[in-house]
Structure 1
C-alpha cells in the first residue's frame, strides 16, 4: 500500500498550486470584502482546466477522476474557501448531475458551456427542507408536454450568476422519496425570480440567494433523469459531494497550519520565536497531525469511489472528520496569532469564517454521524 502521490498526480497538484498562488491568493481577501463572485476568474479557470476536471474530454473537460478533483479543491481552498466552494458545487452537483442523469442531448447542450465558463446552480433546499431534503414543497405540475414549476428554494449557491438551474420538485409517484424529479431551467425563464444575495458569515464571495418559481414552464426535454427519480439521483451525488467538501476543509486547515507556522517563526515574545514555546509548538503539532489524518480519510474515500467501491460510510467519515478538524485547526490558528488573528486583515480570520460551512454544507456533521452509525449497526 502506497500513500504517496504518483508523479502525474504530484505534477497536477503542483500545477493547481501554482495557479492558486498566482491568481487566487493575492485577491481572495478583496473578494471576501466585496461579497461578490469574481466572474473575471472564470476564463482563467477554464484555461487551466479547472471547470471540467472530471468532465470527459468530449464535452471540453479534462477527463480526470475524483482524486484529481480532490487535489485541485484542496489547493484552491488553501487560499480561498469561496472559490473552492464554487468549484465544488460546479463539479459535484451541477456537472455531476448532468453526467449521472442527463440525456446525450442535455450533456451536449450544457457540459461544453459549463466547462467553458457558464455557471450552474443546483436548487434542492427550501426554507423548511434542509437536512430533511425529501420534505420539499416545490411542485412540478404536468400539462400535456409542459411542466409548470411552483415553489421557492433557499441557499442556492451561485443563483445570481447562474446560466442554468437544476431544480428538484415534487412530481408525485407515491412516497416523497420516490416522487421528486429534477428539471433544467435556463436563466431568464418567465416566472423565475432570483432573490437578493444572502449576507453570510463566510464564503462570502460565493453568491448565495433564494430562488422563486412562479409558474416556470419547461418542456419534457428539461426533465433530468427519470421521472420521480430525482431524489435517488441526488443521494447518489452526495457521496462525491461529501468527499469534495472534505477536500475543501483539508485545504482550509492546511492554510491555517501554514499561516500559523509562519507567524510562530517570526513573532517573538519573551526573547524568542513563539513557536519555540511548548504551548505553541504543541498546538502546531496537533494541527499538523489532524490535518494529515483528515487528508488521508478524504484520499481514501476519493480513491474508493474512483475504483467503483462507492461506500457512503467512508465518504461520510471523510467529510465529518475533515470538517471538524478544520474548525479546530482554524480556531487554534487564530489563537497562535493572538490579537493579530482577530483582525479582518488576517487570512486566518477569514479561514475561520469560511470553514464553518464545511460542518453544514453537503450534510451537517450530525447527519454524517447518523449515516455512519446506521451503517455500523447494519454490520
Structure 2
C-alpha cells in the first residue's frame, strides 16, 4: 500500500535502466545509515550509477546522450531517494551540472563536457551564493576581466559532492549580466570548514571559496532557456517523495511489528486514521508530480509551474510523514539507531532547497489571488 501506482509508462528502453537502478538501490539502502553517520560520500554508489548507464541516459540526444525522458528521470531519482537520499541528491546535482554545461556551451565546449560526463567525470552545481537566497540564477559576485577570461572571488554554498568534482558549474556577473561557466577546481578554490548539516549528511554539501579563480572564456556558456533539459528542477520533488516513501515504509514496519497491550500498534484506530491521511496525501503528491513530468515530456508550457507545485507539496508531505513516523515510533523512533529519526532529518532539507517552500507558496498564492509579482 505504501507504493505509488503509476499509470503512464516510461519510454521504450527506460524500463531496463530503472530496473538496473532499482537493483543497485537495494544495496544503497543497506548502507545509507552508515554513510550518514560518518558523513561520507558514497563514491562507489555514484560509480555504480555511471556503470549502469545513468549518466549517458540523462544527457539529451542533442548532446550525444540517450535522452532520458522527464518521466524516466523523476522515477530514477525517486528510486534512489527512497533508498539513499544523499546519493540521489548528489547524482541529481551532478547530472544537472553536467547536462547544463553540455547545453549552455553547446556552440563552444558543449561536446567536450558531454564527453566528460559520459566518460564518468564528476560534476557539481555551484550556483547558490550566501547572500543570494533562492535567486541562484541571479549571481551577485562580479567577475573582473583578465587575460583569457574573467576572475571570480566570492563564495558558493551547498555544493553537493564538490570534494570529488572534476568540474563545477559556476555563475557570475559579467558586464552586468549573469554568465555561466565550467570551472576546473584548482588551488584558488577552497572548502570553508563550516559544514555540518542536520540531514542528508552524506552529501557533504560544502561552502566553496573562490580567490581570483579564472573563468575561462572557452568554458563560458549562455543562460538557461526554454527547451533545456531541466534536470535539477525536475529532480528535486522526487528527492522529497523518495524520502516520504521511505518514511512511510519505516512507519508501517514499526506499526506492524511493535505490540501494545498484546496487539500490533497498527490495530490502534488513531494510527490507522493518521496513516490513511498521510498515504493519501503522498499519493496525491506523486500524482501531481507525474502529471508535471508528463507535461514536460509533451512540451506543455505550464509544466514548470506544476513542478513548483509538486515540489511544494512533496516537501510538505515528506516532513509530515516523517513527523508522523516519530509519533508512531514513540521512544523507539527517537533512538539514533532507528531509521525513523534519519528520515525526519532528511525530510527537512527539501524545504530549504531552492526554491524554498516559502518562496513557492508566495508565487502560488499571488497567482491564485491575482496579486502581481513585485518588481
Map Cα deviations across residues 290-310 of structure 1 (whole Å, 9 max, x no partner). 111110111111111111113
Corresponding residue for residue 102 of structure 1: 105
In the alignment, structure 1 residue 261 sits paired with structure 2 residue 264:
no
SS of the aligned residue for 2:201 comes to coil
SS of the aligned residue for 1:241 comes to helix
Map Cα deviations across residues 331-370 of structure 1 (whole Å, 9 max, x no partner). 1112211111111211121111111111110211011112
> Matches of 1:218 and 1:133 in 2, distance apart?
18
Corresponding residue for residue 88 of structure 2: 84
> Matches of 1:292 and 1:352 in 2, distance apart?
19
Displacement, 1:44?
1.0
TM-score by length of 2: 0.89
Distance 1:207 1:236, change over 3 A: farther
In the alignment, structure 1 residue 165 sits paired with structure 2 residue 168:
yes
> Matches of 1:146 and 1:10 in 2, distance apart?
44
In the alignment, structure 1 residue 19 sits paired with structure 2 residue 16:
no
**Runs of 5+ in structure 2 lacking a partner?**
none
Contact 2:183 / 2:216 at 8 angstroms: preserved in 1? no
Matching of residues 1-379 of structure 1 within 5 Å? 4-6=7-9, 12-21=17-26, 23-56=27-60, 61-92=65-96, 94-103=97-106, 105-133=108-136, 136-173=139-176, 179-188=177-186, 190-196=187-193, 198-225=195-222, 230=223, 233=224, 240-311=231-302, 312-376=304-368, 377=370
Map Cα deviations across residues 21-42 of structure 1 (whole Å, 9 max, x no partner). 1x20111011001101021222
**Runs of 5+ in structure 1 lacking a partner?**
174-178
Contact 2:191 / 2:207 at 8 angstroms: preserved in 1? yes
Contact 2:40 / 2:204 at 8 angstroms: preserved in 1? yes
> Matches of 2:131 and 2:340 in 1, distance apart?
33
TM-score by length of 1: 0.88
SS of the aligned residue for 1:205 comes to helix
Displacement, 1:105?
4.7
| RMSD of aligned Cα (Å) | 2.5
Aligned residue pairs, count: 364
> Matches of 1:200 and 1:164 in 2, distance apart?
24
